[in-house]
């Protein structure tokens, strides 16, 4: 009874305080408060006050929900209690996992806004103890160079482990817990840009995943036409480079002269984390068309000398930032070498996804690099002298119509070579695929005209594709060059860049 009376009293008090009372100019309620704020601080402060969401600390102390808040204070307190119960000191890991599973079952039926409230609780209510961390750091700094340094470091490491870490570890205990956490992060990622409060949870999950999904715990497995249908269907679902159009298309990619490998984690046994498609051929492939030709006869793999990695697809959005690709390629190269001792060349046939968008912004700067003779040749080819960026971009819009001797075609190749081998951002190649392969120790080997004449290929890169070469004896050298800000490239690519 007392608690009910107190609640009624507080509610009535709030209602009275919020009742519209006219000021001397006739303004009432919110209008009066807004006018006072405007007089005091200006429009920006009013907008900030209205827009600023309450923290979970404030909401847990409240009685009523406000504005767009999903869970009421009472429901928020109940959810917090359930989360705290997962990591209660006296609870075993197994029991903690069972309680975490109960929370996950609630989460499965929760609305998106309610799930977001749980994320906010994880961020704000399970953060490291700042006072404890500060004290541990001071002890560590004071102990530096003494016999107590080791113990002080242990204390500092323990202070850095947040209750959030232990809570997330308990979620990983129950059978589908890893799947739950990976999917939760995938749902969380798109909201980070607009809600910085969620960054701590994202960083914690990424750090845990980097440990849990370390290559030492992954299994390389070959995927073939004889693999379970449920697993083969995953290839269709997750293929990110060249869409699989039909079962016949998929069967072609798993034929005798092909190999497909994926990394698997024991807690996600039927879900490839990343997979690579490989064609066994007799030379570096210049075009994706024959590789995807379902009617083409299989190559005699006993004569294959070259392995072409023509598609690499990550399957789990929630594992963004966790690197598998470099380890996958190394493991696949080792596996292929054991099976096919004649293989000598390992290369990719890769898209250039950012090229068209980059050129649309930088065509003018590339034209400025031309000497008078080249500028005049290009001008005659596009029908405008001197040629401007708009003229050049219009002329390359239908690249498949350009003949081999066209100055427009030559200029486009030079722009692509410059984009791949010279354009850097923060010391890394600007193109995402280039960044991946060059970071793994490959070099830019060759540009291929009409390598991908599909609508997607034309939209991304005017149909151009590129081969990255993995020279196993020079991988460390190439990485060293990249660390110095120099992109490893073949003589042909460098020649195109110098024109």
- The CATH code for residues 215-350 is 3.40.630.180
In the chain, domain spans: 56-127+162-213, 215-350, 355-497
Alpha-carbon distance of 85 to 90, in angstroms, equals 10
DSSP 119-174: HHHHHHHS---HHHHHHHHHHHHHHTTSTTHHHHHHHHHHHHS-HHHHHHHHHTTS
466 bridge partner residues: 350, 447
Lowest mean pLDDT, pick from 12-16, 328-332, 418-422: 12-16
Centre a 10 Å sphere on the Cβ of residue 337 and count the other Cβ atoms it contains: 15
Length of the chain: 499
Of the listed 285, 350, 418, 461, which one is catalytic?
A: 350
* Percent share of the chain, pLDDT over 70: 90
Q: Are 378 and 499 in contact (CB under 8 A)?
A: no
264 bridge partner residues: 219
Cis peptide before 386 (omega within 30 of 0): yes
Q: Tens of pLDDT along 269-281? A: 989 999 999 999 9
Cα dist. 457→99, 350, 355, 359, 446 in Å? 49, 11, 11, 15, 17
Alpha-carbon distance of 134 to 152, in angstroms, equals 12
Which whole number is the average pLDDT over 35-62? 61
Largest CA distance in the chain: 95
Long-range residue pairs from 473-482, CB within 8 A, at least 24 positions apart, any chain: 474/441, 474/443, 475/440, 475/441, 475/442, 476/441, 478/438, 478/441, 478/442, 478/443, 479/439, 479/441, 482/428, 482/438, 482/439
Triad 86, 181, 77: Cα angle to 5°: 40
First to last CA, the chain: 87
Contacts of 39 by beta carbon, 8 Å cutoff, 6+ apart: none
- For residue 133, give both structure tokens: 């961390």
The confidence score (pLDDT) of residue 51 equals 53
Q: Tens of pLDDT along 164-206? A: 999 999 999 999 999 999 999 999 999 999 999 999 999 999 9
Q: Are 272 and 316 in contact (CB under 8 A)?
A: no
Looking at every residue in the chain, the average pLDDT score rounds to 88
Q: Tens of pLDDT along 283-341? A: 999 999 999 999 888 889 989 999 999 999 999 999 999 988 888 999 999 999 999 99
- For residue 204, give both structure tokens: 């914690």
Which secondary structure element, helix H or strand E, spans residue 274, and what is its range? strand 274-281
Alpha-carbon distance of 340 to 302, in angstroms, equals 8
The confidence score (pLDDT) of residue 289 equals 96
Per-residue pLDDT band for 132 (boundaries 50, 70, 90) equals confident
Cα dist. 82→55, 121, 171, 308, 389 in Å? 19, 11, 13, 52, 61
CATH topology of domain 355-497: Aminopeptidase (3.40.630)
Q: Please indicate whether the domains covering 215-350 and 355-497 agree at the CATH topology level.
A: yes
Nearest Cα to Cα of residue 333 among 367, 300, 355, 306: 306
Per-residue pLDDT band for 61 (boundaries 50, 70, 90) equals very high
Alpha-carbon distance of 128 to 124, in angstroms, equals 10
Cα pseudo-dihedral 240, 245, 247, 251, rounded to 10: -60
Residue 34 has pLDDT above 60, yes or no: no
What is 56-127+162-213's CATH superfamily? Malonyl-CoA decarboxylase, oligemerization domain (1.20.140.90)
Residue 350 is among the residues annotated as catalytic for this protein:
yes
Residue 437 is among the residues annotated as catalytic for this protein:
yes
The confidence score (pLDDT) of residue 1 equals 44
**Residue 282: phi, psi to the nearest 5?**
-105, 0
Q: Tens of pLDDT along 460-472? A: 999 999 999 999 8
Cα dist. 334→131, 138, 141, 306 in Å? 50, 48, 46, 14
Long-range residue pairs from 333-340, CB within 8 A, at least 24 positions apart, any chain: 333/307, 333/470, 333/472, 335/220, 335/222, 335/261, 336/259, 336/278, 336/307, 340/280, 340/301, 340/304, 340/307
Of the listed 242, 391, 418, 437, which one is catalytic?
A: 437
- For residue 412, give both structure tokens: 């486009």
């Amino acid at each position: 009874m007392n608690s009910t009376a107190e609640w009624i009293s507080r509610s009535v008090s709030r209602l009275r305080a919020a009742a519209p009372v006219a000021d001397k100019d006739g303004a009432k309620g919110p209008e009066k408060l807004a006018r006072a704020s405007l007089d005091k601080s200006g429009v920006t402060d009013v907008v900030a006050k209205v827009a600023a969401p309450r923290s979970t600390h404030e909401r847990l102390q409240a009685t009523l929900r406000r504005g767009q808040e999903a869970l009421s204070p009472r429901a928020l307190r109940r959810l917090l209690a359930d989360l705290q119960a997962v990591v209660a000191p006296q609870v075993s890991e197994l029991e903690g996992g069972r309680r975490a599973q109960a929370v996950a079952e609630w989460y499965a039926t929760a609305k998106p806004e309610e799930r977001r409230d749980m994320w906010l609780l994880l961020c704000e209510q399970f953060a490291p103890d700042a006072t404890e961390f500060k004290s541990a750091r001071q002890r560590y700094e004071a102990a530096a160079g003494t016999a107590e340094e080791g113990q002080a470091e242990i204390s500092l490491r323990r202070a850095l482990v947040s209750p959030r870490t232990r809570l997330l570890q308990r979620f990983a205990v129950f059978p589908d817990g890893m799947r739950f956490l990976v999917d939760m992060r995938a749902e969380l990622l798109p909201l980070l840009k607009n809600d910085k409060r969620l960054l701590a949870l994202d960083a914690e999950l990424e750090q845990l995943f980097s440990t849990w999904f370390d290559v030492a715990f992954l299994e390389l497995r070959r995927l073939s036409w004889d693999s379970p249908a449920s697993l083969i269907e995953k290839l269709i679902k997750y293929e990110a480079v060249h869409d699989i159009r039909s079962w016949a298309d998929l069967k072609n990619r798993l034929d005798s002269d092909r190999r497909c490998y994926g990394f698997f984690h024991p807690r996600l046994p039927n879900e490839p984390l990343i997979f690579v498609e490989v064609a066994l051929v007799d030379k570096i492939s210049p075009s994706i068309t024959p590789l995807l030709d379902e009617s083409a006869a299989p190559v005699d793999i006993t004569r294959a000398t070259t392995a072409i990695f023509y598609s690499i697809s990550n399957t789990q959005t929630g594992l963004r930032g966790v690197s598998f690709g470099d380890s996958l390629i190394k493991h696949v190269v080792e596996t292929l070498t054991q099976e096919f001792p004649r293989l000598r060349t390992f290369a990719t046939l890769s898209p250039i996804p950012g090229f068209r968008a980059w050129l649309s912004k930088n065509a003018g700067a590339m034209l400025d690099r031309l000497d008078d003779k080249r500028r005049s040749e290009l001008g005659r080819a596009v029908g405008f002298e001197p040629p401007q960026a708009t003229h050049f971009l219009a002329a390359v819009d239908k690249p498949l119509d350009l003949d081999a001797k066209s100055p427009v075609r030559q200029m486009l190749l030079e722009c692509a070579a410059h984009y791949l081998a010279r354009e850097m951002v923060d010391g890394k190649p600007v193109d995402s695929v280039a960044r991946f392969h060059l970071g793994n120790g490959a070099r830019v080997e060759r540009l291929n005209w009409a390598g991908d004449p599909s609508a997607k290929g034309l939209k991304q890169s005017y149909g151009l594709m590129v081969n990255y070469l993995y020279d196993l004896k020079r991988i460390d050298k190439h990485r060293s060059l990249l660390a110095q800000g120099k992109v490893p490239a073949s003589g042909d690519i460098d020649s195109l860049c110098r024109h």
